[in-house]
A and B are shown apart, each in its own frame.
Chain A
Amino acid sequence: MAKGAGTTLVIAIVGTVIGCIIGFIVGLIQTIPVNQNDSVGKKILLKIVNIILKIYVEVFRGTPMMVQAMFLYYGAMILFNINMGMWTAAFFIVSINTGAYMAETVRGGIFSVPLSQTEGAKAIGMTHFQTMVNVILPQALRNIMPQIGNNLIINIKDTCVLSCIGCVELFFTSKSVAGTYYTYFETFTITMAMYLIMTLFFSWLLRFVEKKMDGPAEYDLATTDTLAYTSGTLTSPAKEHVDDRGLSDRHE
Chain B
Amino acid sequence: MSNYDSNSGNGIIEIKHLGKVFGKHEVLKDINFSIKEGDVTCIIGASGSGKSTMLRCINLLETPTSGEILFKGKDILKEKNVAAYRAKVGMCFQSFNLFSNMTALKNCMVGPMKVLKKSKEEAEKEALFYLDKVGMSPYIKAKPKQLSGGQQQRVAIARALAMHPDVLLFDEPTSALDPQMVGDVLEVMKKLASEGLTMIIVTHEMAFARDVSDRVVYMQDGIIWEEGTPEEIFGNPTKPETRDFLSRFRNM
Taking CB atoms, residues of chain A closer than 8 Å to B140 are 222, 227, 230
**B16 at the binding interface (Cβ < 8 Å):** no
**A142 at the binding interface (Cβ < 8 Å):** yes
Taking CB atoms, residues of chain B closer than 8 Å to A215 are 143
Interface centre among B63, B83, B142 (most CB of A within 10 A): B83
- In the complex where A36-B63, A231-B124 touch, is A125 in contact with B100 (Cβ < 8 A)? no
- 0/1 interface trace, chain B 119-156, chain A, CB 8 Å (1 if under): 01100110011001100011111110010000000001
Contact at B86–A124, with CB atoms within 8 Å?
yes
Least Cβ distance of B193 to chain A in Å? 13
Taking CB atoms, residues of chain A closer than 8 Å to B129 are 242, 245
Least Cβ distance of A38 to chain B in Å? 9
Q: Out of A123, A126, A218, A245, name the residue touching B114 (CB < 8 Å).
A: A126
**A82 at the binding interface (Cβ < 8 Å):** no
Contact at B101–A123, with CB atoms within 8 Å?
no
Contact at A222–B138, with CB atoms within 8 Å?
yes
- In the complex where A124-B111, A124-B163, A134-B114 touch, is A233 in contact with B125 (Cβ < 8 A)? yes
Contact at A234–B125, with CB atoms within 8 Å?
yes
Contact at A125–B132, with CB atoms within 8 Å?
no
Taking CB atoms, residues of chain A closer than 8 Å to B84 are 125
**A249 at the binding interface (Cβ < 8 Å):** yes
Size of interface on B: residues with Cβ below 8 Å to A: 48
CB-CB contacts below 8 Å: A213-232 with B: 215, 218-223, 227, 230-231
- In the complex where A139-B100, A219-B143, A249-B133 touch, is A123 in contact with B138 (Cβ < 8 A)? no
Contact at B121–A125, with CB atoms within 8 Å?
no
A124 to B140, CA, bound (A): 19
A16 to B67, CA, bound (A): 51
Contact size range, A: 35 or more
Taking CB atoms, residues of chain A closer than 8 Å to B138 are 221-223
- In the complex where A116-B95, A123-B59 touch, is A227 in contact with B133 (Cβ < 8 A)? no
**A135 at the binding interface (Cβ < 8 Å):** yes
A134 to B135, CA, bound (A): 26
A51 to B24, CA, bound (A): 32
Contact at B87–A125, with CB atoms within 8 Å?
yes
* B98 to A, closest residue via Cβ: A120
**A130 at the binding interface (Cβ < 8 Å):** yes
* B169 to A, closest residue via Cβ: A123
Contact at A242–B128, with CB atoms within 8 Å?
yes
Taking CB atoms, residues of chain A closer than 8 Å to B103 are 219
**B61 at the binding interface (Cβ < 8 Å):** yes
CB-CB contacts below 8 Å: B132-189 with A: 132-133, 137-143, 146, 156, 159-160, 163
A120 to B115, CA, bound (A): 13
- 0/1 interface trace, chain A 114-154, chain B, CB 8 Å (1 if under): 00110111111111001000110011001000000000000
10 contacts between A and B (CB under 8 A): A37-B82, A119-B97, A120-B156, A125-B84, A135-B110, A227-B140, A231-B124, A242-B128, A245-B132, A249-B132
